[in-house]
Amino acid sequence: MKKILGTILICLFSGAITLIGYKYLIEKPYSPLFEEQTTTSQFVPQNQNHSISNYQADFTGAAESTVNAVVHVKNLSYVTTHSNPLLEFFYGYKGGTQAQIGTGSGVIIAEDGYIVTNNHVIANASELEVTLNDNQSYKAKLIGTDKQMDIALLKIEPKEKLPHLIFGNSDQIKLGEWVLAVGNPYNLTSTVTAGIISAKARSLSKTGIQSFIQTDAVVNPGNSGGALVNASGELIGINTLISSNTGSYVGYSFAVPSNIVKKIVEDLLEYGNVQNGVLGVSGFEINNMTAKQLNTKASRGFYVQSVIKNSGAQKSGIQAGDIISAINGKSISSFVDIKNILNTKRPNDVVTVKLLRDETEKTMEVALINAENNTLFYNGFEFENITPEQRANYKIKYGVKITKVTNEKYLAYRDELEGAFLLSVNNVKINSVDEARQLLSSQSNQQRTKMEILNSAGEYIRLLI
């Protein structure tokens, strides 16, 4: 019995000791001596603004404000078809005038009914109809176009003030920035897709005239002329085309930057046509190969091969052999960079040109000249734009006129070449001196240039320069 009582007392004593130890050692009361300190390791960078893992993009405001400013554009045109005896015999088909309907998108940029779309959306239209997001329809009038940049301006007469988008600054967009594409793909009503800016100043043509914003936002047939907006709902581009082997979205879409669109709209309203300003130089891009051939330290830039007489470039002192490295503080690594800057400028605007001459840096102020009225000099050939009368007389739809030949290799053929028309360069059709300049400027100094020429006798001449 004594052993049992002893065992019980030992158990009680042990339990008491255990309870006391738990209270004082495990459940230790809060004390300033043990206050938790919040520190940041110097080896682990911390985001002081927000946690990336908790970030959620919210486009609801931008989407709601944009869909009501995007319209559906219907293009009605008439095509004349010829009679086919076989089709008429078997199917009763007879030639005649047939109506064709094309569709696309547009963006309202003013409350009184001005609308921007793509030129290819309204090309060859006999009638234009615009349907708003609330299903109201209006006949539209074509104000003007810029075929090179694929932009057109329309006007409707609305019954009341319309919701519209405000132009954003496309020069300030950043790679990786979220954007929304809004349009009417496959005849659907306003559709919103999201993506990021994949590239800036992207050129898809051999002429290098166009400079696009590239995104991975989903764009399909019918989206052409629709809006590309930032997260604030500002218009930063007009969706124009997609890169696809199937004709539908497979990865990337392209938009004309809003700064270029805004300038085109202002020109059309003020002057009735687009005012294009150019430096007045021709040449080619610098790369590692041409840098070695020219014995220059410059690894990029634009090499000036010739300067147009009486141009702003000549008056400012730019010379053949100079290498343009920057314009208005923006570095130049390709001709597309130059066009991206000049596309927002007009004749007589002044730009700051930084260049390299004999390995010495110089800075000059250059007044731009009108691209419509200047002459192009290239490798001993002088070109100018074809007048409407010349187009009609010679029945040609494209090309530029050769006004003078000073290249020693072709002096024997000068009488035949002077007055002839340059139709294409390296199989690319030429519509203006400006297009010829962009295309010839993209040639390296060592590349051969194939020219297709039509002389006054109606004979085709092909030259390798």
C-alpha torsion sign, points 115, 117, 122, 128: negative
Query: Residue 78 corresponds to which amino acid?
Result: Y
Collapsing DSSP to helix, strand or coil, 268 comes out as helix
CA distance 451 to 465: 8
Q: Specify which residues 77 forms β-bridges with.
A: 100
Residue of 224, 282, 441, 442 marked catalytic? 224
Any idea of the CA torsion for 219, 224, 229, 235, to the nearest 10 degrees? 170
With CA atoms as reference, report the closest residue to 311 among 260, 377, 363, 362: 377
Catalytic (active site) residue 224? yes
**E strand or H helix at 390, and its extent?**
helix 388-394
Collapsing DSSP to helix, strand or coil, 408 comes out as helix
CB 400 within 8 A of CB 430: yes
User: How far is CA 304 from each of CA 7, 257, 357, 441, rounded to the nearest angstrom?
Assistant: 107, 27, 10, 9
Catalytic (active site) residue 267? no
CA distance 169 to 153: 19
Catalytic (active site) residue 120? yes
Residue of 65, 72, 105, 120 marked catalytic? 120
Residue of 65, 105, 146, 150 marked catalytic? 150
CA distance 98 to 123: 16
Burial string for 258-270 (b: 16+ CB within 10 Å, else e) reads bbbbbbbbebbee
With CA atoms as reference, report the closest residue to 274 among 260, 259, 255, 287: 260
CA distance 213 to 237: 7
Where are the extended beta strands (E) located within 122-276? 127-131, 137-139, 141-146, 151-155, 178-183, 191-202, 212-215, 227-230, 235-243, 252-257
Q: Which residues are known to be catalytic?
A: 120, 150, 224
